[in-house]
Amino acid sequence: MKNIVSLKWLLARMYESDIVIVDCRFQLGKPESGREAYKESHIPGAVYLDLEKDLSSAITEHGGRHPLPDIAELTGTLSRAGIGNASRVIAYDDQGGAMASRLWWLLKYLGHEQVFVLDEGFTAWQKAGFPVSADQKVLIPSPFFATVQHNMLVEVDEVQEKLGKAGVTLIDSREAARYRGEVEPIDRVAGHIPGAINRFWAEGRGADGQWKSAEEQAARFEGLAKDGETIVYCGSGVTACPNVLALQEAGFTNVRLYAGSWSDWISFPENQIAVGDEVALKGE
């Protein structure tokens, strides 16, 4: 099943009754900028969901910088946004698909299959001359019932247990310099989880801003076992989601998200930290 839809695909279907378009634009460090951009201009009929207010819960001692939202609260948010179990949800952003992929993953986690990420994002939609609007949709709630897919998620204790285990691949989705521990602009400790390999999430898109094909995604993860267990993380569980999507596009069948990610890992003082490059690929 494809997870990415083109601008033209959405243009042809945007007014169909079961389509719900969700604007997920958000900039780290500028938490109001996404909502303000939405108020100014968005794809007609789109509703806005905020990464930190709607798609994350409050920060605590553990759980990372963007803890997963409470399931009951999230289903309520989705229902109020007009997302029901029969909805086809199209998520977009202007951050390379990172924020839209968070909603994509959350809906998949809740058992909702009909969710897609819009290729390229809002700026490309606008540049293509497709319609935009500042009108805010009147929201008609639609009941959403979750069937939680617990196997999609991994917690810190399971990551600890599986470090170095045969058949398990751990993928760090951050930029290479952060992975190697050379810089750390956000979290208080630099480095990566021991044994993790690095596949920067943004490399899932080409120079033109479009998502790479399934074959190109497979080339990014060449040498890794498609039928093994793959655990993906980033800084806070957000930019790992486009890598989860890319891995699924590439044919990997057992991909799990460590939602707390690096910011959760370093909240436990007993957890080991590695720096530099890992010499061997795990999971082969």
- Per-residue confidence (pLDDT) for residue 7, from 0 to 100: 98
pLDDT at 224 over 90: yes
pLDDT at 281 over 50: no
Which one of 1.10.3720.10, 3.40.50.2000, 3.40.50.150, 3.40.250.10 gives the CATH number of domain 150-265?
3.40.250.10
State pLDDT tens for residues 233-270.
Answer: 999 999 999 999 999 999 999 999 999 999 999 999 99
Instruction: Residue 92: name the closest of 143, 45, 53 by CA.
Output: 45
79: left (phi over 0), alpha (psi -120 to 50) or beta: alpha
State pLDDT tens for residues 24-73.
Answer: 999 988 999 999 999 999 999 999 999 999 999 999 999 999 999 999 99
Q: Quick count: other Cβ atoms within 10 Å of Cβ 254?
A: 17
Listed by start position, the domains of the chain span: 4-127, 150-265
| Cβ burial 145-169 (10 Å sphere, 16+ → b, else e) | ebeeeeebbbebeebeebbeeeebb
User: Is the fold of 4-127 the same as that of 150-265?
Assistant: yes
Tell me the pTM. Answer: 0.96
CATH domain 4-127 topology? Oxidized Rhodanese; domain 1 (3.40.250)
Which residues are catalytic, by number?
234
Inter-residue contact 255 to 171 (CB < 8 Å):
no
Instruction: Residue 265: name the closest of 191, 176, 166 by CA.
Output: 191
State pLDDT tens for residues 14-28.
Answer: 999 999 999 999 998
Would you give the DSSP letter of residue 273? -
Alpha-carbon distance 275 to 49, whole Å?
36
- Per-residue confidence (pLDDT) for residue 108, from 0 to 100: 98
CA-CA distances (angstroms) from residue 124 to 8, 28, 42, 96, 224? 11, 21, 12, 11, 33
Radius of gyration for the alpha carbons in the chain, expressed in angstroms and rounded? 18
Average pLDDT over residues 167-180: 97
- Per-residue confidence (pLDDT) for residue 283, from 0 to 100: 37
Run of H or E including 7: helix 7-13
Q: Name the pLDDT band for 280 (thresholds 50, 70, 90).
A: very low
State pLDDT tens for residues 107-124.
Answer: 999 999 999 999 999 999
